[in-house]
Chains A and B, each alone.
Chain A
Amino acid sequence: GAVVSQHPSRVICKSGTSVKIECRSLDFQATTMFWYRQFPKQSLMLMATSNEGSKATYEQGVEKDKFLINHASLTLSTLTVTSAHPEDSSFYICSASQGAGNTIYFGEGSWLTVV
């Protein structure tokens, strides 16, 4: 299957700083990428849809100024958590669309801990 890579897999940052998470599609071009947030033992919550070359579409209740998403190329999308606070600590997962058959593939996820 298609491979989607996330980096870093774990990151610890201080409260008030910003942290960037990268999502790469390694063997296909992804016109659309998605960012999810998952709390322990809960389902995936879609945060935003990222389309290459255009502004991301955010889900209701997600602060676009806090969670900056950039999709600069067909293989890379980034999520920047700005002015992070402990409540932003979570598991962030990206996924990418291969473009056919509605199949999307997920990255391995990134654990963010804000201290």
Chain B
Amino acid sequence: QQQVKQSPQSLIVQKGGISIINCAYENTAFDYFPWYQQFPGKGPALLIAIRPDVSEKKEGRFTISFNKSAKQFSLHIMDSQPGDSATYFCAASKPGTYKYIFGTGTRLKVLA
């Protein structure tokens, strides 16, 4: 019940295309869902985050879609660029804690 399942494990997208990464959770107590971007040999960097009271959040080319009833959320990267090639992790946490449960990660490669 503590898991966050992430898919796909790896993704190859053409430049200019849309990258979509999905995550699913079981614990309805989770109330914060961030996405992190990690380049090789670097720490993860916060990309965008959402709370269950909204169904979508957009920041630039990055959009989170949230489906509370299905307990799923996804990251959409519009107009994907080679510089977006990285590993992306979704995460979830419960109220009042900063203890994140991370997904298994998706390695994205955007072809030039």
Contacts and interface: CB of A to CB of B under 8 A. Distances in A.
A102 B43 contact: no
B41 to A, nearest CB: 7
B43 A43 contact: no
Contact of A49 (B32, B44, B99): B99
B19 to A, nearest CB: 18
B103 A43 contact: yes
Contact of B43 (A41, A42, A46, A108): A108
A84 interface: no
B42 interface: yes
Secondary structure type dominating chain B contacts: loop
A59 B105 CA distance: 20
A43 B98 CA distance: 17
Given A42-B105, A43-B89, A111-B41, A97 B46 contact: no
Interface residues of A, number: 24
A92 to B, nearest CB: 10
B65 interface: no
Interface in B15-68: 31-32, 34, 36, 41-46, 49
B46 A93 contact: no
Contacts of A67: none
Interface of A: 1, 4, 6, 32, 34, 41-44, 46, 49, 91, 93, 95, 97, 102-109, 111
Interface of B: 31-32, 34, 36, 41-46, 49, 89, 93, 97-100, 102-105, 107
Given A1-B45, A93-B44, A104-B46, 19 more contacts: A1-B46, A32-B98, A34-B99, A41-B105, A41-B107, A42-B104, A43-B105, A44-B89, A91-B41, A102-B32, A102-B97, A102-B98, A103-B34, A104-B100, A106-B43, A107-B43, A108-B43, A109-B43, A111-B41
**Which 6 pairs across A and B sit closest by C-beta, in order of nearness?**
A106-B43, A97-B98, A102-B32, A109-B43, A108-B43, A106-B44
